[in-house]
Amino acid sequence: MERLTVYGSFTSSSSYKPMLYLALARLPFSFRTVNLKYGVQKEPPYLAMNRWGVVPSLRHRGLTILQSNVILDYLARETGHFEGATEQECWQAREWLSWEADHITAVAKVRHSARFRASHPEVIAEFRPKAEAALSFVDQTLKTRDWLVGERCTIADIGCWGRMVFMAEGGFDIADWPYLEAWSQRLKAMPGFALPYDLIPSKDREFDPV
């Protein structure tokens, strides 16, 4: 398979999602860092690839794929890893990704405000209850099942976990959601798993799992 290239940043949950996918799938890829602190994502060379000026971006087979959940969709279709076991499960996994973008994003907004914009407490006040509701929904779903869709890890799990991974930086204690915490332990036990600061480098790097 032609080599994949991910453009991302080590502080970005959106970048973590495709990188976690690739790490768990044990697939080789090239990582190209985009320094958000210096605004590289808004400079013309990057904007020529990503019209929204955000990370991540994926390049593969001459294609450019944007938006972390679309990238997960692409990777699952292209490589077959972490895909639903049935056609229904494939659609369900994508439903979770779409829901994630509406709801778990609140966790990322609180974390972003807490970590990078401490002067905006009103953002935290607005999004914290929404974030807690989203985490509670995932928690209750996982009360009776090991994975969000079907009987095994899919892009739904990688996408939802990946977006909430920095929850502690937003002041959320994962212990408040015990079924969600148990699910995170199942993910952490998978070969290739790594947390963002261990997985995403601050410089360009080639990933070639053995």
CB of 69 to ligand GSH, least distance (A): 6
User: Does residue 58 contact residue 5 with C-beta atoms inside 8 Å?
Assistant: yes
Sheet containing strand 29-33, strands side by side: 63-66, 57-60, 4-8, 29-33, 205-207
Single out the residue of 20, 65, 67, 172 in contact with ligand GSH (rule: CB under 6 A).
Answer: 67
Single out the residue of 33, 68, 113, 184 in contact with ligand GSH (rule: CB under 6 A).
Answer: 68
CB of 210 to ligand GSH, least distance (A): 29
Picking from 179, 98, 182, the residue whose alpha carbon sits closest to that of residue 138 is: 179
Distance, CA of 197 to CA of 30 (rounded, Å) = 17
- DSSP-derived letter for residue 104 is T
Which residues from 99-118 bind ligand GSH, rule CB under 6 A?
Answer: none
Asked if 54 interacts with ligand GSH (CB under 6 A), we say yes
Measure CA 130 to chain center. 19
Which residues from 9-48 bind ligand GSH, rule CB under 6 A?
Answer: 12-14, 36, 41
- CB nearer to ligand GSH: give 100 or 150: 100
State the residues that interact with ligand GSH by CB under 6 A.
Answer: 12-14, 36, 41, 53-56, 67-69
